Amino acid sequence: TQNYRITLLPGDGIGPEIMTVAVEVLKVVGKQFDLAFEFQEALIGGAAIDATGEPLPAATLDTCRNSDAVLLAAIGGYKWDSLPSNLRPEAGLLGLRAGLELFANLRPAQILPQLIDASTLKREVVEGVDIMVVRELTGGIYFGKPKGIFATDTGEKRGVNTMVYTESEIDRIGKVAFEAARKRKGKLCSVDKANVLEVSQLWRDRITKLSEEYPDVELSHLYVDNAAMQLVRAPKQFDTIVTGNLFGDILSDAAAMLTGSIGMLPSASLGASGPGVFEPVHGSAPDIAGQDKANPLAQVLSAAMMLRYGLDQPKAADRIEQAVLQVLEQGDRTGDIISEGKNLLGCRAMGHALIQAL
């Protein structure tokens, strides 16, 4: 038996309900593959603010550090929106990324044939789309200094943030991206704004240099405005995309929305060593929280990513992904992905369907 200590961060809104389903699925798969999971739950986001006054209590970070992987659900909600920004749920998420040095964020956007009609794009444009966005997650304008709101000589205020990348930061994310592209279709598109930003010029230079070590990967470059356009125009041209923190935030969401069903999309955030964090791309959906309406599949697929990228158990990951495809194949749908002639299930019932499929 292989033992794993998993930290669960259910967070806010629909977080707890979808987490429950993912844990059930993990338990079943654990038995099948002889994996013993020890789950420990910790507070983050709004739930942590309510309980402790802080979005990321030190105890949570400790618990995460002492585990093999972290499964996160979702954070945030209207309730905490008026707090000062360093005390808001989002600060907990940014603190977790920084605290665990999760510099590489993998965000797949894949069209599932069963859900292709959910896309707002024409079938022939999105059929077969399978994009992996590799986003730098602990640098760039999210963390650069100076930052803040300062008074100027004339008495007016001035807001400032700084986009910074060092060569080593670019190299380490670049390596992750080239390795990912190599395991996929061997195409990597690096996105920057090198025609305007110096930080992007350094980015482009380093990625180009790095490509010498990956002669088997075909590298291209796009400016971020053009990349946003090309995602809408012809998304099939993309295989793997690598970009900085802010551009990755924007483009991974645009890419996700091409699928029409962000309730289906997982993500992985990885560091050089130590536990990774695995979480759905969607938010905490406070409007449907506690109503057994949420789609747990992105959370379940995040658990699969955890098995694949965090615990090196690709077979168990495959099993979960197959179960998800199977329930879709048999017509089971939550409200966000329902279409005519399909079976409408709640969150719990979808969980049961998955267990059956396993």
How many residues in the chain? 358
Q: Is 253 considered catalytic here?
A: yes
* Stretch in the footprint of ligand IPM (CB under 6 A) among 87-95, 236-244, 286-294, 313-321: 87-95
Identify the active-site residue in 165, 193, 214, 309.
Answer: 193
Give SS3 for 328. helix
Distances in Å between the Cα of 304 and the Cα atoms of 116, 149, 185, 327 are: 22, 41, 21, 16
Residues 280 and 352: their CA atoms lie apart, in Å, by 20
Report which of 193, 231, 207 is spatially closest to residue 109, judged by C-alpha positions: 231
209 is catalytic: no
Give which of ligand IPM, a second copy, none residue 120 binds (C-beta under 5 to 8 Å, depending on kind).
a second copy
Taking contact as CB under 6 A, which single stretch among the options 90-98, 156-164, 197-205, 343-351 is the one that binds ligand IPM?
Answer: 90-98
Contact at 8 Å (CB) between 170 and 203? yes
Beta-strand pair 266-270/240-243 = unpaired
Among a second copy, ligand IPM, none, what does residue 65 contact (CB within 5–8 Å per kind)? none
Stretch that binds ligand IPM, among 66-74, 89-97, 109-117, 331-339 (CB under 6 A): 89-97
Based on the residue annotation, tell me whether 193 is a catalytic residue of this protein. Answer: yes
How do 35-41 and 266-270 pair as beta strands? unpaired
**Residue 196 binds ligand IPM, judged by CB under 6 A:** yes
Q: Tell me, residue by residue from 257 to 296, as one string, x for binding to a second copy by CB under 8 A and - for no binding.
A: xx-x-x----------------------------------
Q: φ, ψ for residue 150 (rounded to 5)? A: -120, 155
Report the b/e string of 269-294 with b at 16+ CB within 10 A: bbbeebbbbbbbbbbbbbebbeeebb
* Least distance between ligand IPM and beta carbon 226 (Å): 8
Sign of CA dihedral 315, 96, 283, 351: positive
Check residue 90 for interaction with ligand IPM (CB under 6 A).
Answer: yes
> By CB under 8 A, what part of segment 119-138 binds a second copy?
120-122, 125
CB closer to a second copy, 26 vs 262 = 262
d(CA 43, CA 57): 7
The residue from 24, 68, 136, 249 that contacts a second copy (CB under 8 A) is 249
Contact (CB, 8 A) for 244 and 189: no
68 with 275: CB under 8 angstroms? yes
Residue 83 in the binding site for a second copy (CB under 8 A): no
Which listed option, a second copy, ligand IPM, none, makes contact with residue 228 (CB within 5 to 8 Å by class)? a second copy
| Catalytic residue list contains 332 | no
257 binds, among a second copy, ligand IPM, none (CB under 5 to 8 A by kind): a second copy
With tokens 């099948």, the residue in question is 32
Q: Do 331 and 114 form a contact (C-beta atoms < 8 A)? A: no
Q: How many angstroms separate the CA atoms of 115 and 36, rounded?
A: 33
Q: Which stretch binds ligand IPM (CB under 6 A): 14-22, 23-31, 86-94, 319-327?
A: 86-94
Judge whether 256 and 264 are in contact, CB under 8 Å: no
88 is in an annotated binding site: yes
Both structure tokens of 301: 């697929």
Contact flag: residue 358 with a second copy (CB under 8 A)? no
The answer to whether 225 is annotated as binding is yes
- Residue 330 lies near ligand IPM (rule: CB under 6 A): no
Q: Is residue 249 at the binding interface for ligand IPM, with CB under 6 A as the rule?
A: yes
Single-letter amino acid code for the residue at 270? L
How would you classify the pairing of strands 104-110 and 130-136?
Answer: antiparallel
Residue whose CB is less far from a second copy, 263 or 351: 263
Whether 225 is a known active-site residue: answer: yes
- Angstrom distance (rounded) from CA 72 to CA 74: 6
* Catalytic center residues: 142, 193, 225, 249, 253
Residues annotated as binding site for substrate?
Answer: 97, 107, 135, 225
Binding residues for NAD(+): 77-90, 283-295
Q: Which residues bind a second copy (CB under 8 A)?
A: 85, 88, 90, 94, 120-122, 125, 141-142, 144, 147-149, 152, 156-168, 193-203, 224-226, 228-229, 231-234, 246, 249-254, 256-258, 260, 262
